[in-house]
Structure 1
Amino acid sequence: MTIAILDDYQKLVPELEAFKSLRQRLPHADIRIIDSMPLAAADIHRLADVQYLVLTRERSRITAGLLDELPSLRAIVQTGTAGAPETSHIDQAACAARGIAIIEGGGSDGHSAAEITWALILNARRKVPEYMASMARGEWHKTNPPVGIGQSVQGQTLGILGYGRIGRLLGQYGRAFGMEILVWGRERTQAAARETGVELAESREALFRRSDVLTLHMRMNESSRHSVKRSDLALMKPTALLVNTSRPGLIEPGALRDALKMGRPGAAALDVHDDEPVLSPDALYGGLNVTATPHIGFVEKSSYEVLFGAAFERFLQFLEQDPG
């Protein structure tokens, strides 16, 4: 049995208890860990005889062309979920046509994503990256270029678009820091707002207009894809911060860059980006007021244990039913 785990470019997977358990339960399997990203031609050659691919979230796109290079592939094991076919990083139709199963492990509890969202909010509001860079240059209270003084979040309005598991956690964090919580979303969000006692905005437009900090937490599907438009962003305050740690495709292509140039909102904080990995500063809103991290919302040990543990368990169940 040949198994390949893709995109472990930080070389974290071998240290996981979940991985050690998989090794013990499949002692004779040939398990290869690919630690480069994106896949190079030499990596694809190493995968030619692989029967099972394990994906690290959505880091690699699995296209029909790539599947053609993997004639022995029987199943793809997805940490997290594969997503809806129309928005997935996996060509699910191509998998079905080739008889390749997709095994989903399921999501995490949302705490790690909520934590990185809150970290970005505080860093962006208090100008932490700029002041850290200033100290690294041996300067004191000087930023390059000048970015102005930071702001406390206390007393500001935290808008949450999509009040599910992660959105609720953000609401708790915001309340603890003295923020007013304002939410908008579909029926489930509206019911959750009533249940938790937070304010439901009068309308979606009101959420964009009133928020000092607006964070996006919608599921990615065909209805939410590109649903945040230029017209929505134009409603935001010049002092407002837009935060996206969910999916880059929630925002209309090019809309955020244009909005930041126009000064509404005045700033953005991002953990997700188009065309990851982003390796050029100019490609990442160069010169605009953006605080960014390289998609690390799920990149912490407990989340890795949960994500890989669940995926490996589902994989082992699959093997019991279809040992091949």
Structure 2
Amino acid sequence: MNNSRVIIAILDDYQKLVPELEAFSRLKQHLPGADIRIIDSMPLGAAQIHLLADVQYLVLIRERSRITAGLLDKLPSLKAIVQTGTAGAPETSHIDQAACAALGIPIIEGGGSDGHSAAEITWALILNARRRVPEYMASMARGQWHKTNPPVGIGQSVQGQTLGILGYGRIGRLLAQYGQAFGMRILVWGREQTRTAARETGVELAESREALFRRSDVLTLHMRMNETSRHSVRRSDLALMKPTALLVNTSRPGLIEPGALREALAMGRPGAAALDVHDDEPVLASNGPYDGLNVTATPHIGFVEKSSYEVLFGAAFERFLMFLEQGAQAGPQG
């Protein structure tokens, strides 16, 4: 295979972190003549799309990029899409998989990480939100001491509180361990797999889904995104929560009914939210969609750390190279 003819674009590398990875160095070693372009603009504009016109392979960073039929029409040279992580089910994917299939564009999935980075950012958000760390850091940067603008009151310890986990899979189990280490009671609910895991690990299973929302002081969402879970957290669920409760979502914004969280926070149930995922990313407005409400937010950084990036890109690049090798062995198609 003539590597000089391989043209690759890595989209939405906002911080230009990918070129610093060992996985990226290995890719360049295997494809020494390849043209690899790093696109850090967000979102893609006309100028960036023009740069992609001759690109043969797109590399996507998780769900940052929406690949629509309209975009695919503007990429006549595209041969495959390389997905770090997984593309997801067709009905919930950020990629128009039907359009890809119609054009004969395969999607090469790299696979997921071990969940530790997502669990860590979830726990960091919980502690920061409960102790009001961002507000006090901002006030200190302004030269104030123990004052915030607007006033937020005193922080609250998680010790002795109930940590509710909706969806007790790999990440949920890690959160349970963190919570137990901090002296929290663990309460879980989910499908049959969750109920079985609760019995196996000795954590408390809620009497019902409604009880999970009512009893939790901190409730964190860790469900897979599919047609069943989409918008499954409803206004009526949030209305059951305590006015002192914190809702945490580092999984998918689409798990919550559109507009429900903002309305619930405005009504005071729950009293606060901590979010790493957002309906419209990137969030570029300075005030964001929750202006004036008690929300601690980060810009979808749950997977943005070096070890997670190495795993995600290492797996994706490895399968991409296998794809190229298989194509080279097959030779040109008549």
Q: 1:116-157: per-residue Cα shift (whole Å, max 9, x none)?
A: 000000000000011101101111110111111110000000
1:319 CA displacement: 1.1
Structure 2 counterpart of 1:321: 326
Structure 1 length-normalised TM: 0.99
Separation in 2, partners of 1:88, 1:242: 25
1:31 CA displacement: 1.1
Question: Residue 273 of structure 1 aligns to which amino acid in structure 2?
Answer: H
**2:187 aligned counterpart, secondary structure:** strand
1:9 CA displacement: 1.4
**1:322 aligned counterpart, secondary structure:** helix
Separation in 2, partners of 1:282, 1:176: 35
Question: Residue 108 of structure 1 aligns to which amino acid in structure 2?
Answer: S
User: What pairs with 1:120-199 in structure 2 (closer than 5 Å)?
Assistant: 120-199=125-204
Question: Residue 171 of structure 1 aligns to which amino acid in structure 2?
Answer: A
Structure 2 counterpart of 1:60: 65
1:37 CA displacement: 1.2
Structure 1 counterpart of 2:122: 117
Separation in 1, partners of 2:201, 2:326: 43
Unaligned runs of 5+ in 2: 1-5
Question: Residue 44 of structure 2 aligns to which amino acid in structure 1?
Answer: L
Work out which of the residue numbers 288, 299, 302 in structure 2 matches 1:297.
302
Separation in 2, partners of 1:282, 1:5: 29
Structure 2 counterpart of 1:10: 15
Runs of 4+, deviation exceeding 6 Å: none
**2:100 aligned counterpart, secondary structure:** helix
1:30 CA displacement: 1.2
Question: Residue 27 of structure 1 aligns to which amino acid in structure 2?
Answer: P
Q: 1:181-234: per-residue Cα shift (whole Å, max 9, x none)?
A: 000000110111011100000000000000000000000001000000000000
Structure 1 counterpart of 2:56: 51
Q: 1:12-65: per-residue Cα shift (whole Å, max 9, x none)?
A: 111100000000001121111111111121111111111110001111100000
Question: Residue 40 of structure 1 aligns to which amino acid in structure 2?
Answer: G
Separation in 2, partners of 1:7, 1:16: 16
Question: Residue 312 of structure 2 aligns to which amino acid in structure 1?
Answer: L
Structure 2 counterpart of 1:265: 270
Question: Residue 163 of structure 1 aligns to which amino acid in structure 2?
Answer: Y
Question: Residue 152 of structure 2 aligns to which amino acid in structure 1?
Answer: V
Structure 2 counterpart of 1:202: 207
Q: Does 1:285 align with 2:290?
A: yes
Unaligned runs of 5+ in 1: none
Question: Residue 216 of structure 1 aligns to which amino acid in structure 2?
Answer: L
Question: Residue 24 of structure 2 aligns to which amino acid in structure 1?
Answer: F
**2:279 aligned counterpart, secondary structure:** coil
**2:296 aligned counterpart, secondary structure:** strand
1:255 CA displacement: 0.2
Q: Does 1:246 align with 2:247?
A: no
Structure 2 counterpart of 1:75: 80
Structure 2 length-normalised TM: 0.96
1:311 CA displacement: 0.2
Q: 1:239-272: per-residue Cα shift (whole Å, max 9, x none)?
A: 0000000000000000000000110000000000
Greater shift after overlay, 312-321 or 226-235? 312-321
Greater shift after overlay, 281-290 or 101-110? 281-290
Question: Residue 193 of structure 2 aligns to which amino acid in structure 1?
Answer: R
Separation in 2, partners of 1:303, 1:310: 11
1:282 CA displacement: 3.6
1:69 CA displacement: 0.3
Structure 2 counterpart of 1:309: 314
Separation in 2, partners of 1:30, 1:239: 54
Q: Does 1:90 align with 2:124?
A: no
1:284 CA displacement: 2.5
Structure 1 counterpart of 2:27: 22
Question: Residue 111 of structure 2 aligns to which amino acid in structure 1?
Answer: G
Separation in 2, partners of 1:36, 1:158: 38
Q: What percentage of residue pairs aligned between the two structures are identical?
A: 89
